[in-house]
Structures are given as structure tokens and as C-alpha cells.
Amino acid sequence: MNDTDNLQSMPALPMRGIVIFPRMILHFDVGRDKSVNALKAAANGARKIFLVAQRDAMVIEPAINDVYKIGVIAEVRQMLKTPENATRVLVEGLCKAKLISFDAAEPYLRCTVSPVNPSPRFSALSESEEAALVRMLTDTFKKYCSLAPKMPNELYQTILTEKNIDKLFDGIVFNIYLKPDDKQKLLEINGSKKRIERLLAILESEIGIMELEINIHEQVRDSLEKNQREYYMREQMRILSRQLGERDDPQEEFYAYADEIEAAGFDRETEEKLIREAEKLVKFSPSSQEAGVVRAYLDAVLEMPWKTFTKEKIDMEKAQKQLDRDHYGLKEVKERILELFAVRALKPDVKGQIICLAGPPGVGKTSVGQSIAKSLGRKYARISLGGVRDEAEIRGHRKTYIGAMPGRIVNALKQAKSMNPVILFDEIDKMSNDYKGDPSSAMLEVLDSEQNAAFVDHYLEIPLDLSRVLFIATANNTDEVPPPLLDRMEVIELGSYTRAEKYNIARKHLIPKQLKKHGLGASNLKITGDAVYALIDFYTKEAGVRKLERKIAALCRKAAKEIVGGRKPDDAKKPDEKITVAAKDLEKYLGVKKHLPEHLPDRDEVGVVNGLAWTSVGGVIMPLEAAVMDGTGKIEITGSLGEVMKESSKIAVSLARSLSDRYGIDPEFYKNKDIHIHAPEGAVPKNGPSAGVAMVTALISALSGIAVRRDVAMTGEITLHGKVLAIGGLKEKTMAAYKAGIKTVLIPKENEPYISELDETVRNSLRFITAEKIDTVLETALVGRGCHRRRKIAEDAEKMIDGLGFRIGEPPAFNDGAIPQKVKQPR
């Protein structure tokens, strides 16, 4: 028989989360208007309605594709209104039917269905098969009921005593909770055996899930009971100890530590580790050494500011004012720091910004770090690394050793009382190493933003997140920092202060600071401007301002002595006299001048060249002298020169031989002349390749007898073919040239891009000449440059003219920079 042979039209009601079976009596509430209208139409008609489950219970207006194809034709038994204004209905399932079509045009859903004729229920089952299925279903149901929430006993017994497999199936399916999808599958299956097998599979799956839920519940309950039992027993022991009047009770101490550990909010693994450490206190005697080690460890851990973070307050205008207030000059440094702040304002959780402030002593590297912390509103901690040679200073000692303690990183965090402070590593280039380890290797992890999120101190043995810490390092010489460590930092150079900068720093910062420190005021002591300049020029020689500050402090002490020494007992209430210190008074207070200014020579000299050198306190003028005497070709090198400078002197001799014909030098000078190269201030060691061009120039001058211009200074490495190579420390060297009154500075061509980074005063005061070859250096530095080359050309011309029979007049005269005089016409 086809589905179209027995079609029926009736109201339809889509069910949300409910599946009804034939012979099942069910009551439920209806809220949707179309569903209520469908029930009313069925009640007013043949009382039949098609109940079908929705595929998705969230669909409000279901279409034919939103419901299953198989449902149940039911009879409406009763309808009533609830106090909540919903419609409650009682229905009984009659038979299974297949949905053919939907019609939503009426005020309710109307459908066309075809009843599904059930196949003979027991035609495929023998008595033994039916008995086996009944037994299996009964046993499985018993096991299910033993795990599921309690079912009414009468209903339970009724189902178990049922021997009819059809009624047994209905009794189980109607009265246990199954998922709507599972119920729908059972409804759609034809044939008793298949339905029973499907129901058995569903029950076995539910039994497995419930057993797993019970096991999990029992584990949680056992854990809670154990914790409650331990807590109860500990409280009992605590009260007993208190009543017995015991002092230094290990139990009491353990409970105190346990409470602090639980309140600290550690992760589970760390908390269990610390609780185990605290439990050792119960086993040890309170006065034992082991108990002291455990207490020291727990105290060190609990003193850490684990959950404390400082909130950043980035205000660019305020930061600019803070930097300007704390430091004069340092324009490039301030610009880079403000760029750092701007990035942090846009991305607060940015990582990997580790700065190294490099420069000579006393230029304000450490104070710049303090200003950064103030501008960000963060806590500040300083770690001095000068002389550190033990890795344990950074990572800490193992707590098993007597006298063990955490490393300096942990102590800095404790000092700052925050987990995101600004930490300054001072003098990072002064670290060394020995048999105990290399601290610079330990610093590699600290300063690596990819690794320091889980930094482990050997003493604490708990991971520390250092990724939120802003690290700043300072160094005098980055060449002393290991390359892998330097690679992790962005180097910002702080150069030497100019004379004008030192003056302004003294007037705005140093003098007010020292006056306040010595109990003086502007009404007691006045240091004039010319006195400040005299202090800078004649009493200090440094790149920074530390010595200048000490000299100002000395003037304050002298003034304080005069003021207090000149008082009489009756003059205590009279105002103190004002002391004015001018430049002419400095010898009275500070003694004779300690440093004389670097003056240029009074005249151009042969064999004397102004070289430029870099030192840890800034740049200096380094004169180089060369002398030539009759001899046997010996070369003397003096002035505490290092191996690199000695090699440069040998290169200079070889290059001078190759240039001998250009400058009228005896080509056999290396056989019949002795050469002596000297760098004054022999007590000061000197090294480096940047004096190469100066050595060549001095040697050419000495051999040719041509003087070197006194107002020219030079720096650059030289090669055997006369190429001038790049050098370092250009900023410091040019500053020294500016202070000495040099007018022209010769630098390598490769260093030309760095001229724009020099101080504006230096750039405007000096004339820079860049050189790729030694020819440019010699033509610029030698007096009457070019004249000897022209003389050689004239001599060659004379020889050629004499060979042709011409008569030559007096030899031409040569002046500084002049060309040969006119040659007379031949006869």
C-alpha cells in the first residue's frame, strides 16, 4: 500500500524538546499562538492533531524542513488555562504517521499525513528470542535504575514484572529520561527487535556516562572530606597546644605559614611545593639549623610582591618636563626615551625594550634611568654590577647551602615592592668572571624578552615573570660588553658635555644642589659666571660633571667656614655676610690651576701632528712627533704605544717609501736614516689603529721637511695602499678638537654620515674634510700643499728643455700655495 492511499488532513503542532509515542498519555504547556489555535481547531473538530518534534527547538516559526518526517497522530483529551496564561493540554498517542505536507496559510499549521501501518510485532521473534530480549532489557533497566535518580517503587516494580516485550518497551521509554534525538530514532524504527536493540544500546551508553559521573563525584567528595578532616585535626592540635601553654609550637608556625601561602594566590603546583616545605617545620626542632633554613626560604618567598603591579601613567608633556627638569641637553637621548614612552602608550604590554645608556663617567646615565621611572610612574631599583664575578649574584644560591640567599634580581623586586619596576643595571661592562661562573651568561636570560617570562632564581626555585620589568643598563665602554649580551640591548650613546653645557648644568643643577646640601643659600654665596667657566677650564678635565660638582662643593665648604668663623657670639642674630667667588678668587680657595688649556702651537712645525684619541673620560688631542736622523735605518717607537699602534707605525714607514718621489724624499731613507716616532705623555698607555693617518703625516713631514698646519687635527686608520678607513668615537674626538681651538678636522669618508649626529656647537665651529686616500690628508695638512709636486714637474720640464738646447733663466721661486714663475723663452 502506498503512503497516498490513506492520507489525512489535520492540525499540526511542532513539539520543542518532546517526542510522543503511540499509546503514550502526556500533558504539556503550549505558548505559541499557532500551536494554541491548532489545539482549539482539533478540539472543535475530530479531536485529532499531528504531533511532530522540531529538529531545532530554538526555531519559532518552523517550516516543513524544520521538523522530523515521522510523528504521532494524537487525540486531544483535555485543555485548560494555567495561572500563567498558558494552555495546558492532555493528549494520547494513537498511531505513528508520516508527514506529507505543511500548510501555514490558516491561523494554525495544518498538515497532510499518512498513518504508518505497524508491521507484525512478533512475526520475526520466536518465544525464546522474545524471552531473551525481555530478560536483557529487564537486567539493563535494573542497572540503569541503580545509577539513575530514584524512580517511584510502584512504577519500578510494574515495569520489572512486565513480560510483554511491547509493554515493557513502552514502560521504559515513557518513564526514563532520554535525549529527544534518541527518542525520535526509537520512534522511527519499525520492528520490535530493532527497537529493543536500539534501546539497549542507548541504555548502555547512559549507564557508562552515569558511572563516570559517579566516579568523578566520589573523587571530589573524597578530596573535600580529606581536606576537611585534616583541617579539623589541625585545629584540634592547635587548640591543645595553646591550652598546654607550649611556646615555639611547630604546629602553630606551620599553620601560620600555610595561611600566608594560601592567601598569596600561587598556582596549585607552587602552593603544594611551599606547603611541603612548611610541613618540614613540624619534623624539625624549632632551634635546629634545618628549621632555620626552611624559615629563611619561606620568608624570602612570601616577602616577594607576587601580585603587586604599578599602573603606568604615561603623559608625554609631563615626561618631557621631567626629563628637561632633571637633565640639561641630551637632546637625542630624550628624543629616544620619549619614543619609548609613545610606544608604551599605544601598546602597554609591549616587550623587548631593553636600553643600554653608553657614555663616559659623569654624563648622567644613572640619573636618566631614575627620570624614566619617575616619568612612567613606576617603582625604581638599581643593581650595581661593577666587580660582580659570581653567577650566583644574578641567579641566587641553592638554598641547601649555609648562608644561601636570593640573587640581585629578586632583591631588586623586593626593594621596589612591585613586579613591574624599572631596574637599572649600573656598570654592566664592569662584570668579570672566574671559576665560579660567568655572570654575563646569566644576564643573557634576564635581558632576553623571549626567555625572561619564566626566569628561575636558584634560591626561590619558583618561576618569575620578568617580561613586565623595564630594564635599563649603563656602560662606559660597550666594547667590554660580551657581543651576545650587547645584541639584546639597544645602545643609546651619551657623549661628553660641551663647555657651554657644563656651564648651564652647573648654574641650574649643581650649584643649587650643593648650596642646599651645605646649608647655604643664594644670599650667602654667589659663584659668578666667569668663575664657573674657570672651574671648567682650569680645575677639571672630564667628560661629565662629577669633578666639577666636587669643586663647587669645595667652594661651599670654604664659604661655610668663612661665614661661621667670622661670627661673634653677639652676632648670631645678624644676617651673614655674602661671599662672592669670581674667577680671580679661585686660586685663593682651590689652589693653583690644576689643568692648563690645550693651546695650539705658536707656529707650524715639521714632524708634529695633532692626532685625536678616545678615552674613557672623553676625547683628547694626542700630538704625534716624528724625527729623522742620519743612521742605519733603525725605527724607534716610544710613548707606551700598544701593538696595534706599533703596526700602524710600520705601515706608515712603508707608505712613506711609496710616496717618496712625490714629496722630494730620499728613496734610500730607510737605509741611511733613523726614524723616531713618539707620542707625548708616555705614562699613559695608548693603542688603536685610528692614529694611522697622523703617523703617516708626521713621517712625511719629517722626511720632506714640510711643516704641518698647527690648526688641523686628524683621525683615521691607514692601509698599505693609502686608503683611509673608518674609526669610532667621532663625537668625543671632535669635541676635544673643538675645546682645543682646532679649526679643521680630517676624518675618514666613511664617517661622513655621522657628522649630522655631532653636537650643533661642534658642527658649526669646525670645518670637516673627509678623506678616502692619504693624498687628501697630506694636501690639507702640509703647509704649501701641492708646491712640491709642482716643483717636481718643473724640474722634469727643465731637464727636458735642457736636452733640447734651450737656455733657462733663474729657477722659479715657490711660495706657500704658489705656482712656478714664468719660464723664460729659449734663445
DSSP letter string, 518-531: TT--TTTEEE-HHH
Q: Exactly one of 399, 502, 733, 739 is catalytic; name it.
A: 733
Annotated catalytic residue, options 371, 418, 660, 690: 690
Query: Using alpha carbons only, what angle is made at residue 454 by residues 452 and 458, rounded to the nearest 5 degrees?
Result: 100
The pLDDT of residue 101 is above 70: yes
> Residue 820: pLDDT above 70?
no
pLDDT of residue 523: 84
Alpha helices in 676-766 (DSSP H): 692-704, 730-740, 760-765
Backbone angles phi, psi at 10, to 5 degrees: -160, 165
Average pLDDT score over residue span 388-398: 85
Pairing of strands 744-748, 463-464: unpaired
Model pLDDT for residues 744-774, shown as the tens digit of each residue: 999 999 999 989 888 888 888 999 999 999 9
The vertex-689 CA angle with 733 and 766, nearest 5°, equals 25
Percentage with pLDDT > 70 across the chain: 89
pTM: 0.58
Q: Alpha-carbon distance 375 to 295, whole Å?
A: 38
Q: In this predicted structure, what is the pLDDT of residue 60?
A: 82
The band of 553, judged by pLDDT with boundaries at 50, 70 and 90, is very high
Considering only 728-737, 750-759, 806-815, which range has the smallest mean pLDDT?
A: 806-815
| Interval 494-501 mean pLDDT | 80
Quickly state the pLDDT bin for 209 (edges 50, 70, 90).
Answer: confident
Average pLDDT over residues 651-667: 88
pLDDT (0 to 100) of residue 2: 54
Q: What's the pLDDT score for residue 576? A: 60
The confidence band for 617, taking pLDDT boundaries of 50, 70 and 90, is low
How close are the terminal C-alpha atoms of the chain, in Å?
Answer: 146
Residue 713 pLDDT > 90, yes or no? Answer: yes
In angstroms, the CA 268 to CA 279 distance is 16
Please report the pLDDT score of residue 801 as a whole number. Answer: 44
More confident residue, 15 or 786: 15
Matching residue, cell 530554538: 58
Which pLDDT does position 624 carry in this prediction?
92
Rounded CA separation 271/280 (Å): 15
Task: Reply yes or no on whether 384 is catalytic.
Answer: no
Q: Cell match 646640601: residue?
A: 517
pLDDT band at 333 (very low <50, low <70, confident <90, very high): confident
State the sign of the Cα–Cα–Cα–Cα dihedral 212, 215, 221, 222: negative
Residue of higher predicted confidence among 599 and 404: 404
Q: Are strands 70-81 and 110-115 parallel, antiparallel or unpaired?
A: unpaired
- The residue among 563, 560, 577 whose CA lies nearest residue 518 is 560
pLDDT band for position 693 (50/70/90)?
very high
Query: Which tens digit of pLDDT belongs to each residue from 237-288?
Result: 667 666 665 545 677 778 888 888 888 888 888 888 888 888 888 777 777 7
pLDDT at position 802 over 80: no
According to the model, what pLDDT value does residue 708 have?
92
pLDDT of residue 241: 61
- Per-residue pLDDT averaged across 167-188, rounded? 81
**pLDDT at residue 219 is higher than 50:** yes
Q: Which of 18-27, 469-478, 768-777 has the highest mean pLDDT?
A: 768-777
- The DSSP code for 687 is -
Active site residue 671: no
Identify which of 745, 759, 753, 681 has the alpha carbon closest to the alpha carbon of residue 716: 745
The whole-number average pLDDT for the span 148-164 is 76
Pairing of strands 712-714, 744-748: parallel
More confident residue, 713 or 437: 713
In terms of pLDDT, which residue wins out, 552 or 791? 552
pLDDT at 373: 87
Other C-beta atoms lying within 10 Å of the C-beta of residue 278: 22
CB neighbour list of residue 261: distance below 8 Å, 6 or more residues apart: 271, 274, 275, 278, 298, 302
Query: Does residue 385 contact residue 427 with C-beta atoms inside 8 Å?
Result: yes
